[in-house]
Homo-oligomer: A and B are copies of this chain.
Amino acid sequence: MNSTFYQNKDTFLVAVDCIIMGFRDNELQILIARRRMEPLKGGWSLMGGFVNATESINEAAKRVVEEYTGIDNIFMEQVGAYGELNRDLADRVISIAYFALVDMDLFDSSLIEKHNTRWVRITQLPELIFDHKKMVDNTINILQRKAAIKPIGFNLLGDQFTLPTLQSLYESIYQERIDKRNFRKKLLTMDILEKMEEKDKSSSKRGAFYYRFNKEKYDQLIEQGLHFSL
């Protein structure tokens, strides 16, 4: 790396903070950790880490998410950069927030005690350190906006899921109830789901059919100039 061009410029610690979201018990969940170091030791925080000189910021975020979940190949998007002067009480740190949507069934629970983490419902989020609450709020806004027009919500589910589950996922994202018939109608007329033969009997006696998201059909939909919309 050639450093002769930009001289006498200040340099900064750069961190990534990750809003890792899952879905369980009909509610969105966020992974938070009890901080093990000062300042604010014992406070709840997002999963974070410093960016290394050898990696891009996207790679740093991916590394952090894998470290705390044990999952790779996770859907992630940048939320934004946070650069207030005193956002981190210990030192000047510029942080870039990312959100990750994970299938909680793939989560490695052994990492919970290792990193002192916990899944909490978004409706019951405790106070977070620094500006982490703002990062979460911005994430939820992005998620609400984006889940409506892109099929990103499926990243929160296993590859098989029932329509009632999918509906409750969207209800949790939008924080409002949705009419069952309208929801199913919209979804099924898009023709991007594949109905399975088996049913999920875990939450009712009758059982609900499993469906699978069909990426090929989705791509066709887009090619036809149509849009995903929920």
- Stoichiometry, as copies per complex, reads 2
Chain A, residues 55-73, CB within 8 Å of chain B (1/0): the string is: 1111010000000000000
> Of the 9-residue stretches A84-92, A107-115, A120-128, which lies at the interface with chain B?
A84-92
Q: How far is the CA of A84 from the CA of B90 in the complex (A)?
A: 27
Q: Give the contacts of A4-57 with B (CB-CB under 8 A).
A: 4-6, 9-14, 37-39, 50-57
Do residues B85 and A10 form an inter-chain contact, with CB atoms below 8 A? no
Interface size, chain A (Cβ < 8 Å) = 37
Q: Give the contacts of A112-149 with B (CB-CB under 8 A).
A: none
Chain A interface main SS type: loop
* Minimum C-beta distance from A139 to chain B (A): 14
Q: How far is the CA of A131 from the CA of B57 in the complex (A)?
A: 15
Do residues A1 and B56 form an inter-chain contact, with CB atoms below 8 A? no
Residues of A with Cβ closer than 8 Å to B? 1-6, 9-14, 37-39, 50-58, 60, 78, 80-81, 83-85, 90-94, 96
Q: What are 24 A-B residue pairs whose CB atoms fall within 8 Å in the complex?
A: A1-B91, A2-B91, A5-B39, A6-B90, A6-B91, A6-B93, A9-B13, A9-B50, A10-B51, A11-B11, A12-B12, A14-B14, A14-B94, A51-B83, A51-B94, A54-B85, A56-B84, A57-B83, A58-B84, A60-B83, A78-B81, A81-B81, A81-B96, A94-B94
